[in-house]
A = this chain, B = another copy of it.
Amino acid sequence: MKKANYKPRKRPQQPRSVKMVTWILDAATRVLEKESLEGFNTNRVAEVAGVSIGSLYQYFPNKDALTVALIEKTQQELVIALTKAAELTHAKPLAESVRELARVAIIHQQTRPRLSRILDLEEQRLSPEAVLSRSARAIQTTLVDFLQQHRKDITVPNVQEAATDILTIVKALVDANTGEVSEKLERRVERAIIGYLCYS
């Protein structure tokens, strides 16, 4: 039985250590983008980062922990963008607001299509074990708030559940359509979300 510990081994305090973690994460990002999952191995990441393999394992207890750190980092960027967008759409009608949120999510993913797709895949592979991450919960919360604000316009029986389902649906559509023209994809995502929310 494998232990599933994806927490970073230590929060590095010393300046050099902070830098090393940054190097490692940057290297991991580059390796994943350029060589995809097949080329993603810890020895290669350490090499690209310019640190020894031993140092990598001082900060990340295993390869999956490194992947989880990347997922966290990416999701933090997304939650910031989504929260900002959600605030801006305050008084606008549902359809328009959804369209803007969808656009943010799609743009976020299309900034680094290969990487985002891989990280979503890895998140699914790891999710049964991993506790829902801080940033994943933040995204969920932002979406629940958004749905509450539009409570009168939607027909879902349970807002929590709806938020989860919508996140699942949007991720799936966006990942399955990597490379699709942004506007077309936006319209289909909008259809899926509002269709789900307003079904009666």
Partner of A165, one of B156, B188, B194: B188
8 contacts between A and B (CB under 8 A): A121-B121, A121-B124, A124-B175, A164-B176, A165-B173, A168-B172, A192-B196, A195-B199
What are the interface flags for A166-179 relative to B under an 8 Å C-beta threshold, 1 for contact and 0 otherwise?
00110111011000
Residue of B nearest to A161 (CB): B188
Q: How many copies of this kind of chain does the complex include?
A: 2
Bound together, the chains give a CA A148 to CA B194 distance in angstroms of: 23
Tell me how far the C-beta of A133 lies from the nearest C-beta in chain B, rounded to whole angstroms.
Answer: 15
Bound together, the chains give a CA A199 to CA B169 distance in angstroms of: 16
Tell me how far the C-beta of A81 lies from the nearest C-beta in chain B, rounded to whole angstroms.
Answer: 22
